[in-house]
Amino acid sequence: MLQVYLVRHGETEWNVARRIQGQSDSMLTQAGEHQAYLVAARVRQLGITHIFTSDLGRTRQTADIIAAACAECPVILEPDLRELNMGVLEERMIDSLSLEEEGWRKQLIDGTEGGRIPNGESMSELAVRMNRVLYRCLDLPQGSRPLLVSHGIALGCLLSTLLGLPAWAERRLRLRNCSLSRIDYQQSPWLAPGWVVETAGDVAHLDAPALDELQR
């Protein structure tokens, strides 16, 4: 059985400011760095052999902290793990959006098939590249235990599709900053063969509440 661990990056300056990040970037806050150290302490005991991370700065910062705790486990940059491209709304403050713009944003979370922000990416396109990285994990050497460091919408989309939902399904998974999830590839007499979600959004290792994308 292959176990794959998933970590969302630590809190960023734009998370706190309620600014849309997408594939733009923002540095971790002091709290975000602290979260990364806490999740690193937890995964240090898991025997991680490979760390694949989105090449955006906030995920790279988080992955480097985790790697230092995991006997300098190699960090592999993987652009397919990037956050959803939010098009013309990237870098905008949530509270500044017009009704039309907020409608574009809501299409990404309310189950609108084919929804996308102008010049952005659909959830279906996001699902293709996220699953592409996951399935490449099956080619790793026997005994590998990879960890993927990515983003809230991206990881939520991946987990939803593994549960059999369409990529554009209503978002129902809360993945807070530096939450830890685990998925297994296995054959079971009681579960569908293939990928199984073991845990999603675990924050037991954190010592203070962590933010969801919009929750305060």
- Known binding residues for substrate: 8-15, 21-22, 58, 60, 83-86, 152-153
Quote the CA–CA distance of 212 and 216 in Å, as a whole number. Answer: 8
Across 153-180, b (16+ Cβ under 10 Å) vs e yields: bbbbbbbbbbeebebbbebebebbbbbb
From residue 149, alpha-carbon distances to 51, 53, 104, 129, 203 in Å are 7, 5, 27, 14, 15
Quote the CA–CA distance of 78 and 56 in Å, as a whole number. Answer: 9
Residues placed in the known binding site: 8-15, 21-22, 58, 60, 83-86, 152-153
83 carries an active-site annotation: yes
Catalytic residue among 83, 90, 121, 213: 83
Catalytic residue among 9, 78, 90, 121: 9
Decide: 117 and 178 in contact? Cβ < 8 Å: no
Active site residues: 9, 83
